Structure 1
Amino acid sequence: MILLILVTLLWAFSFSLIGVYLAGQVDSYFSVLTRVLLATLVFLPFLNWRTPPRTALTLMAIGAIQLGLMYLFYYQSFLLLSVPEVLLFTIFTPVYITLIYDLMARRFSTWNLLVAAIAVLGAAIIRWNHLSGDYWTGFLVVQGANLCFATGQVAYKQFMQSRYNSGSALAPRQTFGWFFIGASLVAACAWLILGKPQYPHSGLQWGILLWLGAIASGVGYFLWNKGATQVSPGTLAAMNNALIPTGLLVNLLIWSRDADLPRLALGGAIIVAAVALSEWRGRARK
């Protein structure tokens, strides 16, 4: 679980960086394409070009959904919503993870759904306050991002575990480049069709894109997906909402945005409790 915690801390900066410096100033499709291309470049030196075609195509499909499509929805949401609202509307991701995982596994786990519901409750306590009047379109856009992110996490977790169980898997770093190649194909098509000539106009914006692409996306998604294969579905679902209190803390400490500290503490404690419950359950069953 340590990998998920580290990436949560890493990603906590992304919401504010996008909302403050990129949204409405740089074409969202160009931002997405730049991020995934930079992430691809990070992993190209490690890529095994002799990867079995089925493995390569599967990872490309997962990357196209989890990263490519998700980013298209995600960046559009910042044009419709404030940063706190985007954070709020991500609270449903744990529910999607548990439901998709059980659907793919052809079973239903009330425990996993309970852990996800507790995490959603904690996130709702933190961020549920006055919303902008026309937020429903933004809400639906964020749910599109949530579904893509949840589907990709579950698919990667199950695919990689099945490969290791069969004894035919390459090291993750040798195949993860295919994940970013799939995402790049989606982002490139979207930019060619829908993109606008609205590019970064300062060194700061280029620097933020470089950070978001090489580090937050490149290193972050690799470590997050690797961490997802090492925890239970319930823990994975709950950790998806740990980003909300950490993201709000970043807003508070760096950008001096208002935050309700008692609600932040209470909601964060509930999310931590959901993760702890899932971990306790997993150890008790061993």
Structure 2
Amino acid sequence: MSLLLIVSVIWALSFGLTAEVSDLGAPFVTAARTVLAALVFLPFLDVKGMPAWRRLAFAGIGALQFGLMYLLYIASYRWLRPSEVALFTIFTPLFVTLVSDLLEGRMSWLFLLTAGLAVLGTGICVWSGLGRGGMLRGFLLMQAANLCFALGQVLYRRVAPTSGKRDRDLMGLLYLGASVVAVAMAAPSVPWAKVLGMSPRQLGVLVYLGAVASGLGFFLFNAGARRTDIGTLAIFNNMKIPLAILASGLVFREAVDWPRLAAGGAVIACALGLNGITGVRS
């Protein structure tokens, strides 16, 4: 669980930095992040003795969990405000639990309950009211992105232990698969004038987002997913949101609804506590 907490903090601090490179275009930023993440982990890549079909399987998991997820996530911004995108990510814990149960051929009611509490707690933190027209398409795109991210986590959690490899040996394959999708998405629309004219600060932020937030972040998240139960994994899919709100107030000095944050955080803590008290493992 400690690995999932560490990456939740990393991602929470990254939300404020992402705005500094937003003018470079979301497709380019996504491609740059996945390629940089791949470059970080390619030196550790070890596929010796691994069949070709298994290598393709891990690249496919990366393409799904990171590449296709980002493609759908970015497309949703055409119809949704950033706050609405954040709000609609809260359903990921339910997808994690449901996908895991589907693959296992069972139904874990306890994990569904704790995932539901995580959704409720996060919703309390970020809910700002809905009702604007033209939102359905964005909502459906976000749920497709959530499903890709959830399915990738669960598949990695199931397949990685059977590979005989360490997490760092495998991540280069996942990032290569993601990079293929991301680069194909970005190639037709790269704003070369802005990219070539980016400031040293923007370059530094982009390197941090690629090497640390994406590279180290997804590595730690998948490593944590491999080592924890499905209920804890589901809950930590939303932990970054209240932590991001906390970082916005304490680090980036933005206005925060502290009572709402405290109430939502308490519900998420209850979900973690309930999951831990049971001692159930999957």
TM-score above 0.5: yes
* Equivalent residues of 2:88, 2:139 under 8 A apart: yes
- Can you give the 5+ residue segments of structure 1 that lack an aligned partner in the other structure? none
Equivalent residue number for residue 63 of structure 2: 64
Match of 1:238 among 230, 235, 248: 235
CA distance in 1, matches of 2:13, 2:82: 11
CA distance in 1, matches of 2:103, 2:160: 14
Q: Does 1:37 align with 2:35?
A: yes
String of CA shifts for 1:156-214, please: whole Å, max 9, x gaps: 001123x0xxxx51222112110101001111211224545464422222222111100
String of CA shifts for 1:220-273, please: whole Å, max 9, x gaps: 111110101111111111111111110111122233222211110010111111
SS in 2 for 1:160: helix
> 171-180 or 210-219, which moves further after superposition?
171-180
- Taking a change above 3 Å as real, the CA distance of residues 41 and 104 of structure 1, as seen in their structure-2 partners, is same
Query: Post-superposition shift, 1:106?
Result: 1.2
1:26 partner letter: L
1:102 partner letter: D
Q: Does 1:159 align with 2:156?
A: no
Two-structure CA RMSD over aligned residues (Å): 2.0
String of CA shifts for 1:72-107, please: whole Å, max 9, x gaps: 223344454444322211110001111111111111
Equivalent residue number for residue 277 of structure 1: 274
1:136 partner letter: L
CA distance in 1, matches of 2:45, 2:12: 28
Equivalent residue number for residue 84 of structure 2: 85
SS in 2 for 1:13: helix
- Can you give the 5+ residue segments of structure 2 that lack an aligned partner in the other structure? none
How many percent identity over aligned positions?
A: 43
> 93-102 or 82-91, which moves further after superposition?
82-91
Query: Post-superposition shift, 1:118?
Result: 0.7
1:99 partner letter: L
CA distance in 2, matches of 1:77, 1:264: 25
CA distance in 2, matches of 1:262, 1:169: 47
Please list, as runs of the form range in 1=range in 2, the aligned pairs for 1:222-233 lying within 5 A after superposition: 222-233=219-230
CA distance in 1, matches of 2:193, 2:15: 20
Provide the aligned length of Structure 1 versus Structure 2: 278
> TM-score scaled to structure 1, two decimals?
0.90
Query: Post-superposition shift, 1:40?
Result: 0.5
Please list, as runs of the form range in 1=range in 2, the aligned pairs for 1:125-144 lying within 5 A after superposition: 125-131=124-130, 133-134=132-133, 135-144=135-144
